[in-house]
Amino acid sequence: MSKHTIYYTLTDEAPALATASLLPIFQAFAKEADINLQLTDISLAARVLSLFTDRLPEDKQVEDGLSFLGELTADPDANFIKLPNISASIPQLTATIKELQSQGYEIPDYPEAPATDEEKEINSRYSKVLGSAVNPVLRQGNSDRRAPAAVKGFARKHPHSMGKWQKTSQTHADYMRDGDFFSSEQSVTMDKAQEVRIEFVNKSGEVDVKKTLPLLEGEVLDGMRMSASKLRDFFEQSLQEAKEAGIMWSLHVKATMMKVSHPIVFGHAVTVYYKEVWDKFGDLFDELGVNPNNGIGSVYDKIKTLPQSTQDEILESIHDCYEHRPEIAMVDSVRGITNLHVPSDVIVDASMPAMIRSSGKMWGRDGKTKDTKAVMPESTYARIYQEVINFCKTNGAFDPTTMGTVPNVGLMAQKAEEYGSHDKTFEVQENGTMRVRDAEGNVLMQHDVEKGDIWRACQTKDAPIKDWVKLGVTRARNSGTPAVFWLDAERAHDNELRKKVKLYLQDHDLEGLEIHIMSYNEAIRFSMERMMRGQDTISVSGNVLRDYLTDLFPIMELGTSAKMLSIVPMLNGGGMYETGAGGSAPKHVQQLQEENYLRWDSLGEFLATAVSFEELGIKQDNAKAKVLAAALDRATEQLLDNNKSPSRKVGDIDNRGSHFYLTMYWAQALATQTDDAELADKFASVAKALVENESKIVEELNSVQGKDAGLEGYYHMDLDAVTKVMRPSATFNEILAAI
């Protein structure tokens, strides 16, 4: 690769659509600094197709963009901009397969219950694209996320809406007090590099080696169990409590990322809530292949082949449940989609902050918002949401105009604490013992388990921890902000990390820094107390908390996590600049298809690209790149100040209109800067042309709105067709082409 190449990822859904408009703009500017901005396809469809290169004809093969970038992470010059992608659930995967098949790609169906060797092989291939499959490959560094000053300043001047909290709100977070992963966690640090075995021992003493794991010296290994029977008891009790109190019930998991454990948890919720349905039709469902782990939606899908009278009977039984069960929070009350419909619809790290921002209420069946029991069975992180809820009941909603900020330094490198770790998660098939033994056969940890329990292991290597401590201290030093290591004194894993953090902190000069190590409840409370008073606090957290906190705080502070600056300083020296932690926004795609209006806000792309250019400029001594970066940041500030972000409704500028304004401001900023006369000269005329044609371009962009966009497909759209839709202004396109 050229040292001046930046890789820009093509992903899925709204960000992919926006890329069709935005990338040509970035490229037009970048080439003036000899930067080569290269598109790399890591969309779900591309990842699926790349699994079957051996089966597809040459003209239908696609390059494995993800593997390419994965290898690039080792390069000290690596520089890439990563947009949000789909972490596929099984329903999303099967939909993608179906769409690709309809486009003539001869790829096999996904075998949900693989029986033959071939099916198992296919299943194993597909497992590589399920869930959180992209991040573990690319995130070869720890994480540095913060609200850029321009964004924070904008939120203070133009605060987003924050629902008022009632002191009498009945909303609360509910979680297991016993029998969950938290209460069973065991953890051990390797005193030498070795291979350990994860084994299941049945009641007859037969040993089944589930997995062997090569571990490094200093690596931390955890094992933990969730009891299926206690989980089901907990669900039943939580449903009864919600019913009795007359509030709604909602489930908040992360089935996409925790792709083995959380669908099972979700499935238990479905079969407990709809207990009578399963009591009555469970055998029939088994025959039909209904999988509760895919949601109650799976019932609707699979019963279509049944006689109408049986279908009616089943639907009636489902509706009977609504009579004596609490109301379920809705994902889409207009279309009648409940919280238990599809596991990928409610994602805890986004759904909980959204609820907290909305007075602790969720949407009911009648389209009204109501107090809710927010159920997150696993208590490890659920407790922080209860802490936030209690805080808001006591102190009222946070005020975006005065609140401080909580940036995050997250442990992430080398798949640290990758909790979804599907390859180390097992649904136990019979009563017995799960254990981990070292190379000498010593038992490092063990759990008594029962059929149906979920057992999982988790790895965290030492080098990333050391780097994470360093990054935390560096950020505290550079920002002059107190930093809190979130390590829970009641978690076995965290206690291993506490030892390491205390040790590695000694490597740094801490003079004048405020560094704390706190349990989660303490840490979030401390951060909130400060935040309420306008003070900033860095959260230095593990991987899952990184994910949760970088939605929770930004959504409260900025109204969205998409506006965060998200940097991955790679262990090897390269950098990844991530954008829009707020997901890939399926609803935006729907709106574009129906109304040719894309509400996606590319702010994250603006911010990330500026940092990417700046880093390249510094590393490769490319002065023009630095000038481009500084001007882009000024343009972004101006865009925010002038309120030229996409609105939400037809008639106003959308994503494309905001790209136009960014371009205009960027060109103006370049024209007026004095660091590089050549660039100033070059862009003076561009700026002039854009300003003169402003109303014409906006008119051209907006005139397409309000009608069907005429796009086909969803996961694998035709890029040319998308480009046509996303670049409808001939005037704008000409000016760009002329640069």
Which of 429, 411, 421, 516 has the alpha carbon at shortest distance from 459? 421
Q: Which ranges in 576-620 belong to alpha helices (H)?
A: 586-595, 603-619
Nearest by Cα to 401 from 557, 507, 541 = 557
Kindly indicate which of the ranges 88-96, 130-138, 214-222, 240-248 contains the residues binding a second copy, using the contact rule CB under 8 A.
240-248
Secondary structure (3-state) at 329: coil
**Residue 327 beta carbon to a second copy: minimum distance, rounded to whole angstroms:** 14
- Regarding 166 and contact with a second copy (CB under 8 A), the answer is yes
Under rule CB under 8 A, residue 393 binds a second copy: yes
How many CB atoms are located within 10 Å of the residue 522 CB? 16
Residue 34 assigned as binding residue: no
**Separation between Cα atoms, residue 373 and residue 170, nearest integer Å:** 8
CB 239 within 8 A of CB 325: yes
* 455 carries a ligand binding annotation: no
Which region among 271-279, 297-305, 521-529, 580-588 touches a second copy (by CB under 8 A)?
521-529
Which string of b and e fits 141-156 if b means at least 16 CB within 10 Å? bbbbbbbbebbbebbb
551 a known binding residue? Answer: yes
Under the binding rule (CB under 8 A), the answer on residue 168 touching a second copy is yes
- Please tell me whether residue 230 binds a second copy under the rule CB under 8 A: no
- Could you give the CA distance from residue 406 to residue 545 in angstroms, rounded to a whole number? 13
Nearest-10 crossing angle of helices 149-157, 543-558: 40
The answer on whether 599 is annotated among ligand-binding residues is yes
| 473 known ligand binder | no
Q: What's the angle, vertex CA 45, arms to CA 44 and CA 48, rounded to 5?
A: 85
Binding residue per annotation — 75?
A: no
Say if residue 648 carries a ligand binding annotation.
yes
DSSP summary character for residue 168: T
- 588 annotated ligand-binding residue: yes
In the list 308, 394, 442, 674, the residue contacting a second copy (rule: CB under 8 A) is 394
CB burial of residue 681 (10 Å; 0-12, 13-18, 19+): exposed
How many residues make contact with a second copy (CB under 8 A)?
Answer: 19
Among 470, 498, 525, 619, binds a second copy (CB under 8 A): 525
8 Å CB contact between 103 and 713: yes
Residues 441-470 interacting with a second copy (rule: CB under 8 A):
none
| Helices marked H in 1-40 | 13-30
Q: How far is the CB of 168 from a second copy (least distance, A)?
A: 4
Q: Minimum distance from CB of 245 to a second copy (Å)?
A: 4
Q: Stretches 94-102, 168-176, 408-416, 617-625: which one binds a second copy (CB under 8 A)?
A: 168-176
Span from 30-38, 166-174, 504-512, 642-650 in contact with a second copy (CB under 8 A): 166-174
478 binds a second copy (CB under 8 A): no
Is the CB of residue 25 less than 8 Å from the CB of residue 620? no
Q: Which two tokens stand for residue 621?
A: 């001594």
Asked if residue 684 binds a second copy (CB under 8 A), the reply is no
Q: Which is nearer to a second copy, 386 or 527 (CB)?
A: 386
| Residue number with CB closer to a second copy (48 or 388) | 388
Beta-carbon contacts of 173 under 8 Å, excluding residues fewer than 6 positions away, are 352, 374, 375, 376, 382, 383, 385, 386, 389
Q: Has 133 been labeled as part of a binding site? A: yes
59, two tokens: 């003209």
Q: Is 183 in the site for a second copy (CB under 8 A)?
A: no
Stretch that binds a second copy, among 117-125, 161-169, 398-406, 651-659 (CB under 8 A): 161-169
Least distance to a second copy, CB of residue 394, Å: 5
Q: Of 382 and 473, which has the nearer Cβ to a second copy?
A: 382
Determine the 3-state secondary structure of 109 from DSSP: coil
Q: Is 437 annotated in some ligand binding site? A: no
- Rule CB under 8 A: say whether 359 interacts with a second copy: no
Between 349 and 488, CB nearer to a second copy: 488
- In whole angstroms, the minimum distance from the beta carbon of 402 to a second copy comes to 14
Which is closer to a second copy, CB of 247 or CB of 329? 247
Among 4, 172, 259, 461, binds a second copy (CB under 8 A): 172
Residues 6+ apart with CB under 8 A from 116: none
Kindly state the smallest distance separating residue 167's Cβ from a second copy, in Å.
Answer: 5
Residues within window 244-273 making contact with a second copy, judged by CB under 8 A: 245, 247
170 lines the binding site for a second copy (CB under 8 A): yes
Least distance to a second copy from the beta carbon of 526, Å? 9
Residues 375 and 252 sit within 8 Å (Cβ to Cβ) = yes
Q: Is 584 annotated as a binding residue?
A: yes
Which region among 88-96, 124-132, 387-395, 573-581 touches a second copy (by CB under 8 A)? 387-395
- Give how far the C-alpha of residue 541 lies from the chain's centroid of Cα atoms, to the nearest Å: 16
Q: Which of 31, 38, 24 shows the shortest CA–CA distance to 80?
A: 38
The answer to whether 695 touches 653, Cβ cutoff 8 Å, is no
CB-based contacts of 435-439 (< 8 A; 24+ apart in sequence): 435/198, 435/199, 435/200, 435/201, 436/188, 436/196, 436/197, 436/198, 436/199, 436/221, 436/223, 437/196, 437/197, 437/199, 438/194, 438/196, 439/194, 439/195, 439/196
| Binder among 390, 535, 647, 685 for a second copy (CB under 8 A) | 390
Stretch near a second copy under the rule CB under 8 A, chosen from 165-173, 272-280, 551-559, 576-584: 165-173
Which of 152, 373, 461, 599: binder of a second copy (CB under 8 A)?
A: 373
Please identify, using beta-carbon distances, which residue of 385 and 504 lies nearer to a second copy: 385
Nearer to a second copy, 79 or 238 (CB): 238
Choose one: 388-396, 473-481, 567-575, 654-662; the region binding a second copy (CB under 8 A).
Answer: 388-396
CB atoms within 10 A of CB 651: 10
> Using an 8 Å Cβ cutoff, are 264 and 427 in contact?
yes
| 383 annotated ligand binder | no
User: Which residue in the set 167, 203, 304, 335 belongs to the binding site for a second copy (CB under 8 A)?
Assistant: 167
Alpha-carbon gap, residue 26 to 636, rounded angstroms:
13
Nearer to a second copy among residue 168 and residue 695 (C-beta): 168
From 174, 462, 547, 615, residue interacting with a second copy (rule: CB under 8 A): 174
- Per the CB < 8 A criterion, the answer to whether 142 and 409 are in contact is yes
The Cα 734–Cα 736 span in angstroms is 5
- What residue numbers does the annotated binding site for D-threo-isocitrate cover? 145, 546
- What residue numbers does the annotated binding site cover? 82-87, 132-139, 145, 349, 546-547, 551, 583-584, 588, 599-601, 648
- What residue numbers does the annotated binding site for NADP(+) cover? 82-87, 135, 583-584, 588, 599-601, 648
What residues make contact with a second copy under the rule CB under 8 A? Answer: 166-170, 172, 174, 241, 245, 247, 371, 373, 386, 390, 393-394, 521, 525, 529
- What residue numbers does the annotated binding site for substrate cover? 132-139
